Amino acid sequence: MTRAVKGALSGLPSQFWWLWTSTLINRLGGFVTTFMALYLTVDRGLSASFAGLVAALYGAGGAVASVLGGVMADRVGRRPTLLVSQLATAVLMAILGFVREPAVIAVLVCGLGVAANAARPCIQAIIADLVPQEDRVRAFSLNYWAVNIGFGVASAGAGLIAEHGYMLLFLGNAVSVLVCAVVIFLKVPESRPESVADKTGGTPDAATADSAGGPAIGLGTVLRDTKFMAVVGLSFLLAMVLMQYTTSLPVTMGKEGFSSADYGLVISMNGLVVVLAQIPVNRGLRQANPITVLIVASLLTGFGFGLTGLAASVPVYIVTVCIWTLGEIMHNPTSMALAAALSPPTARGRYQGIYSLSWSGATLAGPLLGGFLIDSFGADTLWAGCAVVGTATAFGYWLLRNQLADVIAPTAPVETEPEQEAGLKA
């Protein structure tokens, strides 16, 4: 087991590990978005539909930020875009803790969606810049591991803190993002590949030429890349299912009489399973066909959420979370590595921005649709729909199996060598 862990962690550049550390710090204080639905419906007495609307506005801001952050990551640089994103997030998070008017909360959450989600394409582009293709699934998996270590700890702790008032959640989240920004500022260098404009001393244009001096790559080029956009579309479908944990799951549990502490315990299992299973699962699947991994992951995610309709106690809710979490940890790193493999080096920001749009768009559409279905048809309809969408996503990956077969191939397990430890220890 020790050898497996060392093999999974070794051989990556020190800059990646500082980025990993900043992500962990950020997520350890990531209280607010997870508990926003409970804050609005239980603490403030607002409707499930309004909670869904607020979550959708966060997603709408994130949809704008995904494209904007990706373009700015290519034009201005990954590092400055990431720093501005984090500073704006911290300010808006702190302000939200003092606001009581529902309309103002909605506007601020939309702005928070812009600020927070602009970081996503930057981080993904930095990882793709720093890590060679054969190690990217592992790198994305480890970064996702950091996200979930923080998420699990924050969810469990925030559920108890929320019992004494939500103000500490908002302020604690703001502080964690500020500390994250400091780590980025001090330890993570700019990683943007040199573009044609950089080589000639000019200013980067709206479209970036590829590293071989080929045709310019703008957003239109990305949108016309049918293979890449098919991956984006399938990621969107599965992300819509996954986003039900943010509003539909806590609202359903709240309607059934469970407390915020119960929800905190249930959802913390998501982070715990990722922490315990991410490395062994990632290592075990290294020689598996990535498309097969994506198909199985989609089915586990869809049916894991589908089984929520049968849950009536905390232990059963925990079982359902464990099922869809297994699908999540199989799907997300593999999908991210696939998107990176399809991205030209000097346009990674734009490509990762459009890929991130699938998640931001799902953050908008998923909770909004979930709240509507719960209010109009009941929670059982929603959870059954999740199983259907997961199956449809799996079928979509199956249809693309031949086109994507050579894009991201299985890699052999990495054995630990003494000199490989340097990247981790740095």
Distance between CA atoms of residues 62 and 387, nearest Å: 26
pLDDT of res. 307: 92
Please, what are the domains in the chain?
Answer: 2-190+219-408 (1.20.1250.20)
pLDDT of 212 above 50: no
For the residues of 76-123, what is the DSSP string, one character each?
T-HHHHHHHHHHHHHHHHHHHTT---HHHHHHHHHHHHHHHHTHHHHH
Long-range contacts of residues 83-88, Cβ cutoff 8 Å, at least 24 apart: 83/181, 83/184, 83/185, 84/118, 85/115, 85/116, 85/118, 85/119, 85/122, 86/26, 86/119, 86/177, 86/178, 86/180, 86/181, 86/184, 87/178, 87/181, 88/114, 88/115
Read off the pLDDT band of 48 (50, 70, 90).
confident
Q: From 335, 283, 371, select the one nearest 3 (Cα to Cα).
A: 283
Mean residue pLDDT across the chain: 79
Full 3-state SS string of 223-258: HCCHHHHHHHHHHHHHHHHHHHHCCHHHHHHHHCCC
pLDDT of 31 above 70: no
Distance between CA atoms of residues 396 and 390, nearest Å: 10
DSSP 8-state code for residue 415? P
Distance between CA atoms of residues 379 and 130, nearest Å: 44
pLDDT tens per residue across span 190-200: 887 764 334 43
The least confident of 155-169, 186-200, 263-277 is: 186-200
Whole-angstrom CA distances from 8 to 128, 281, 285, 416 are: 17, 11, 12, 8
Q: Which residue has the higher pLDDT, 204 or 326?
A: 326
Q: Which residue has the higher pLDDT, 208 or 16?
A: 16
Phi and psi for 216 in degrees, rounded to 5? -65, 145
Helix and strand numbers (H, E) in the chain are 20, 2
pLDDT of res. 418: 31
Read off the pLDDT band of 202 (50, 70, 90).
very low
pLDDT of res. 207: 39
Q: Which residue has the higher pLDDT, 376 or 8?
A: 376
- Do 85 and 115 form a contact (C-beta atoms < 8 A)? yes
> How far is Cα of residue 188 from the mean position of the Cα atoms in its chain?
20
The least confident of 15-19, 68-72, 217-221 is: 217-221
For the residues of 24-57, what is the DSSP string, one character each?
HHHHHT--HHHHHHHIIIIIS---HHHHHHHHHH
- Neighbouring C-beta atoms of residue 275, cutoff 10 Å: 18
Distance between CA atoms of residues 296 and 366, nearest Å: 21
pLDDT tens per residue across span 326-364: 999 899 888 888 888 888 877 778 888 888 888 877 877
User: Per the structure block, which two tokens stand in for 185?
Assistant: 């500022």
pLDDT of res. 189: 84
Q: Which amino acid is at 181?
A: A
pLDDT of res. 131: 85
Distance between CA atoms of residues 128 and 337, nearest Å: 8
- Neighbouring C-beta atoms of residue 202, cutoff 10 Å: 10
pLDDT of 2 above 60: no
In the block, residue with structure tokens 């508990």: 35
Q: Please tell me the pTM assigned to this model.
A: 0.69
DSSP 8-state code for residue 313? S
Phi and psi for 209 in degrees, rounded to 5? -75, 150
pLDDT of res. 216: 53
Q: Which amino acid is at 372?
A: F
In the block, residue with structure tokens 């464990």: 322
pLDDT tens per residue across span 218-273: 777 788 888 889 989 999 999 999 989 878 888 888 888 887 778 878 887 887 88
Q: From 132, 6, 131, select the one nearest 422 (Cα to Cα).
A: 6
Which of the residue ranges 49-53, 78-82, 150-154, 279-283 has the most confident prediction, judged by mean pLDDT? 78-82
The least confident of 254-258, 373-377, 385-389 is: 254-258
* pLDDT above 70 coverage of the chain, percent: 83
Distance between CA atoms of residues 185 and 83, nearest Å: 7
The least confident of 91-105, 141-155, 390-404 is: 141-155
- Neighbouring C-beta atoms of residue 220, cutoff 10 Å: 10
pLDDT of 393 above 80: yes
